[in-house]
């Protein structure tokens, strides 16, 4: 398991406000995001842990992998396991922004500042989304130096047919103590604003960029976090 320290991105308040409000401009929301942004930026600690796994076999619904220390496991990816069929290796990762922001959201809720808690929580989602993009970029770099392409970012609970319960299998293979992310007895990632992902790499992929599968995602009707929130370089 390798630790990746992720620079804090420069979040664009207008982009985030538009995403939250499904493309409708709300000046009140934009101003609230702008006001809460410095606090959110101070609270978040974006990090990720990752490993490169050998893809041993892909089959109907299943992916067999071997970790860097020789352990083997089978992931029940579901009917879209073919998205990993070109993979020679897979980058398994877990990203987080830490616990401090969620603690601050909890305090705001206890103080009955529900709107402030909501906006701060949305900023946390945006910072976590950008941490995921940093993992995508890492996968792209690892594939490029091998002369490979990359597949889409996949995750339990998002890819149809890949049950969220399989996150426990993925996380138990990936996570080590001590580390910034852990798994509780119910199979939930701690800190709460953490995500796992699996990205295939191999000769059979034709893209050099990690794509999203938002059109397939089980959360597509309720999700706004697939947008890019960081300002352009």
Please give the chain's pLDDT, 233 residues, in tens: 899 999 999 999 999 999 998 888 889 999 999 999 999 999 999 999 999 999 999 988 999 999 988 999 999 999 999 999 999 999 999 999 999 999 999 999 999 999 999 999 999 999 999 999 999 999 999 999 999 999 999 999 889 899 998 999 999 999 987 889 999 888 889 999 999 999 999 999 999 999 988 777 666 666 666 667 777 75
Q: Please indicate, yes or no, if residue 231 is contained in any of the structural domains.
A: no
Alpha carbon 134 to chain centroid distance?
9
* Alpha carbon distance 132, 120 (integer Å): 19
Q: Please indicate, yes or no, if residue 73 is contained in any of the structural domains.
A: yes
What is the number of domains present in the chain? 1
Provide the b/e sequence for 65-102 (b: ≥16 CB within 10 Å).
Answer: bbbeeeeeeebebbebbebbebbebbbbbbbbbbbebb
Provide the b/e sequence for 182-203 (b: ≥16 CB within 10 Å).
Answer: bbeeeeebebebbbbbbbbbbe
Enumerate helices (H) and strands (E) in the chain, giving the number of each: 5, 9
Q: Please indicate, yes or no, if residue 224 is contained in any of the structural domains.
A: no
Structure tokens at 76: 């029940």
Q: Please indicate, yes or no, if residue 115 is contained in any of the structural domains.
A: yes
- Which structural domain range is residue 117 located in? 2-202
Burial of 25 (0-12, 13-18, 19+ CB in 10 A): exposed
Q: Please indicate, yes or no, if residue 119 is contained in any of the structural domains.
A: yes
Cα angle 89-125-47, degrees, rounded to a multiple of 5:
50
Q: Please indicate, yes or no, if residue 94 is contained in any of the structural domains.
A: yes
Q: Please indicate, yes or no, if residue 210 is contained in any of the structural domains.
A: no
Alpha carbon 156 to chain centroid distance?
11
Q: Please indicate, yes or no, if residue 216 is contained in any of the structural domains.
A: no
pTM listed for this prediction: 0.92
Alpha helices per DSSP H over the chain: 13-20, 27-43, 100-110, 114-144, 167-174
Q: What is the CATH number of the domain that holds 44?
A: 3.40.109.40
* Alpha carbon distance 131, 133 (integer Å): 5
């Amino acid at each position: 398991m390798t630790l990746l320290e992720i620079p804090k991105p420069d979040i664009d308040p207008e982009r985030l406000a538009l995403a939250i409000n499904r493309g409708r401009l709300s000046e009140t929301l934009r101003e609230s995001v702008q006001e809460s942004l410095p606090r959110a930026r101070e609270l978040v600690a974006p990090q990720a842990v990752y490993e490169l796994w050998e893809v041993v076999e892909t089959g109907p619904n299943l992916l067999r992998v071997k970790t860097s220390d020789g352990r083997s496991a089978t992931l029940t990816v579901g009917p879209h396991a073919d998205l990993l069929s070109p993979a020679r290796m897979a980058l398994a990762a877990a990203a987080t922004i830490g616990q401090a922001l969620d603690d601050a959201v909890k305090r705001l809720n206890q103080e009955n500042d529900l709107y402030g808690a909501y906006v701060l929580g949305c900023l946390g989602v945006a910072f976590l989304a950008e941490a995921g993009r940093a993992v995508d970029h890492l996968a792209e770099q690892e594939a490029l130096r091998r002369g490979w392409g990359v597949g889409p970012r996949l995750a339990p609970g998002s890819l149809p047919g890949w049950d969220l319960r399989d996150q426990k299998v993925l996380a138990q293979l990936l996570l080590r103590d001590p580390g910034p992310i852990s798994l509780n007895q119910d199979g939930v990632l701690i800190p709460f604003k953490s995500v796992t992902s699996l990205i295939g790499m191999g000769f059979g992929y034709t893209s050099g960029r990690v794509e999203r599968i938002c059109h397939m995602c089980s959360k597509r009707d309720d999700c706004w976090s697939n947008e890019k929130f960081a300002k352009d370089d």
